[in-house]
A and B are shown apart, each in its own frame.
Chain A
């Protein structure tokens, strides 16, 4: 990894995710720190990134590197953890039954990812699926269910859903910009995680050697 990417680009991207992940447009506008469960999910994600080879701690902090390079590497790891926690915080609903379901869903998916020992590409794909599906569930489906505006039929359906779930499913309505901010925040996080990974090995050269043998 080159110095500019390690010292500046990756930490700034992760810190931006950390900042935007806790933003709640309200009103009033507020910035909320991640809940405890998001820290657990973040720890699992960092572990999965490590096992799959996306995160190589020895490439970031090692006795063979200089002190300044080691500090830069440590900053990358710390900011990755903070951004992961805020990304999960962003993806989970604020309260009620959906919060419980989402936390369980994310925990099971991450544990599954961890034990299947995916390689770098598989993990990045898996991460895209996890984040993408959680985003759609929270910001499209759940947001539509919790939107108080709409026609009479929609209001009746919402009332039925709320009655059937004893009011535990619907959430506070999200401001229109919330979904856009969340989308770009998660996209930035995925790009940063992708940029974190070491460049893929060139299997094609080995192939050619084997064929020639």
Chain B
């Protein structure tokens, strides 16, 4: 093989590999699925699993939030879809919210998921218009509600609040 071809091909491979390393350090993927999903989404080839997403919505509407989260996580293993991450956050909120006690561990997970959703949405704005079951349609409302749930609330009248 001619030397310039070897040098050019080598440079191309090295630039691609260096780009991958920079991406890995910037995004900090936790699983192989996140690596492959992140790379696929960077070239516009990533799609959520529609069947798993539909399962998740069905469980969510029935109030089976643990099952809903499992289905949503299966639908979006790389955590690259804003809408799915929004639903995961919402499922964490509904399961973790209580009149007398909030499960902060779940709300913290919800907060992480809604932060991911906001980061993935175009210009950080995410509104889910087409789901009548939701009382909070935007990621901003959900994030604020999750943050409120994380705070210690000394007001006893707040036991009369309702879950959104």
**A residues touching B (Cβ–Cβ < 8 Å)?**
3-4, 6-8, 11-12, 15, 18-19, 22, 28-31, 33, 66, 68-69, 71-72, 75, 79
A77 CB to closest chain B CB (Å) equals 13
Which chain B residues border A29 with CB–CB below 8 Å? Answer: 28-30
What total of A-B pairs shows CB separation below 8 Å? 56
**B residues touching A (Cβ–Cβ < 8 Å)?**
3-4, 6-11, 13-14, 17-18, 21, 24-25, 28-30
Query: Which residue of chain B is the closest to A73 with respect to CB atoms?
Result: B7
Which chain A residues border B7 with CB–CB below 8 Å? Answer: 3, 6-7, 68-69, 72
Contact between A11 and B14, CB atoms less than 8 A apart: yes
Contact between A18 and B3, CB atoms less than 8 A apart: no
The 15 listed contacts between A and B (C-beta, < 8 Å) are A6-B10, A7-B6, A7-B9, A7-B11, A8-B14, A15-B14, A15-B21, A19-B24, A29-B30, A31-B25, A66-B4, A71-B11, A72-B10, A72-B11, A79-B14
Tell me the complex Cα distance, A5–B14, Å. Answer: 12
The B interface, classified by DSSP as helix, strand, loop or mixed, is: helix
Tell me the complex Cα distance, A103–B24, Å. Answer: 27
Contact between B8 and A8, CB atoms less than 8 A apart: no
B137 CB to closest chain A CB (Å) equals 31
Contact between A75 and B11, CB atoms less than 8 A apart: yes
Contact between B28 and A30, CB atoms less than 8 A apart: yes
Contact between A15 and B11, CB atoms less than 8 A apart: no
- The interface centre, meaning the residue of A6, A28, A68 with most chain B CB atoms within 10 A of its CB, is A68
Tell me the complex Cα distance, A8–B25, Å. Answer: 22
Contact between B11 and A22, CB atoms less than 8 A apart: no
Contact between A3 and B10, CB atoms less than 8 A apart: yes
Contact between B28 and A11, CB atoms less than 8 A apart: no
Contact between A75 and B24, CB atoms less than 8 A apart: no
Query: Which residue of chain B is the closest to A15 with respect to CB atoms?
Result: B17
